[in-house]
Chains A and B, each alone.
Chain A
Amino acid sequence: MIRYVVKRVILIIPILLGVSFLVFAILSFTPGDPASTILGNGATEEAIKQLNHELGYDLPFLQRYVIYITDIVTKFDFGFSYRTRLPIANELVSRLPISLKLASLSIILACLIGIPVGIMTAVKQYTMFDTVPTITALIFAAFPTFWLGMLLLYAFSLKLGIFPSYGASTWVHFVLPVIGLGLPEAATMMRFTRSSMLETVRQDYIRTARSKGAPERSVIWKHALKNALIPIVTIIGVDFAALMGDACATEVLYSLPGLCTMIINGIRQKDVPSVMGATLLLTAFCSLVVLLVDIVYAFIDPRIKAKYSGSRG
């Protein structure tokens, strides 16, 4: 088992290296340089050259990349933002909690709504308790998060004035963004729970349990749910990771200072270290979450367990 975990953790390293190289290359081959953006319209050529030199942007691409990676590996130094000249690491530390809060609150909301309703629809299949939520979920799953966000903003901030429209200082600020991001996710979660439950119910061991005369309630709650939850756990993890990145439009809409806005601003302003830092952190985080899920899964799934805990220890 430990062997499996170690192997998976080690596999993350080349992925991060690959991602960093890919993004660094994309950013570097974009026309434009940080100094001419920073200095604006009337800048002289000498000023642009001087600033690019100060920022270290006049070095060749590969050299900059190697310096960047070496600094991270040896000193855990993510460099300085071209624009604010503040250490990227500090900015990451202040922005990560916001992205995390947004994603985790949304996924919790999604679970709280999606899983119970999903179970209900599966248990009461073909009744009103099935069709109404299913159709609702079908529509909500199709909502672009930014559109839902706009509608919420319009109704609850602009018209009713209940919730603030920007900022991230208190929990109140997260209500609208979390609903906007969480509802479509809840719909997806509900659909998934429903089909997972229905699939489990059709399995042989459930039929066996039923035929043995176990009461229906115990069949559903004890046998079916237990097994249906396994794939759901996987989905929670994967979607949590995905939400961190998909929160782009939501962060823009509510002016949340999260990692996605850092990347968008960085791309616009050619602030390579900002984009790199935020992308690497997001990627690393997503990979870790997926890894965690896989490990949990491996614990549960006897086949994987057997493969790694057999003769090879």
Chain B
Amino acid sequence: MDNALEISGLKKVYKGGFTALKGIDLIVKQGDFFALLGPNGAGKSTTIGIITSLVNKSAGSVKVFGHDIDKELEKAKSFLGLVPQEFNFNQFETLLTILVNQAGYYGVERPLAFQRAEKYLKQLDLWEKRNDAGRMLSGGMKRRLMIARALMHEPQMLILDEPTAGVDIELRRSMWEFLRELNQQGITIILTTHYLEEAEMLCRNIAIIDSGVIVEDTDMKSLLSKLDQETIVLDIDKITEAPKLDEFTTRLIDDHTLEVDVKKSQLVNHVFSQLSAKNINVHSMRNKSNRLEELFVSLVGSGQNVNQESK
């Protein structure tokens, strides 16, 4: 299967000397649902900007479905749909105008563009607002409008830069479902997000970028399998001090909340059996943090080390 995206030795040095990318390599397979994660200022948006030609690269190459952006930029662009982080549509134009004009930039005739606009506005629950100006929409609606706009030319690859930022959880979940359906239809999706739960739920492969360097590039399962310890939080009967459990580290957070560190090789059953033996009832249990979040924090820490070494 062809690669949807091939990035090789990509560097970006901004005016003033700030190096945003230090020669990254990245491959995204066709049909993939790919997460590009990293802290603020890591280089995610610069990478996306270069792929979509909004940022000029300093060195390296980018191929979109085999088309080099240096040699066949227009061809490469025709495969891409972009949902940027910032709202970047004309605030005074109506939703229909925004969508139909955008389709026109890709050579879609107006009658077909109107059909597609209706389809995507209905799918994204914006049809009732079709004649409203963009500025009249709520934040969540604006995000959905940008997704509809990116789909108007039916791209083979969709790049979403923080698509669910500031969106409430109910809407976020409906957007996840919509993106999953698009991916099932064969559209390659690249997603950057701050919600690591989002990446874990949606994406099959993942790259983590930090300080302009890719510190991890693997599939989600392999990455999560690297996590050798999780912390579970138990809501328990009132106790005054943390119980000592064989082979487990415990911490009493308050008189009803106990944290227990569980290694990958250990069974949670043993926690419960030991607590039962001590007559401590457990009312509920949850993970202290998202699994990916724990890995992310540890990897980004090592990324900083890489950065320091490369200076």
- On whether the two chains bind one another, the answer is no
Binding site for A on B (CB under 8 A): none
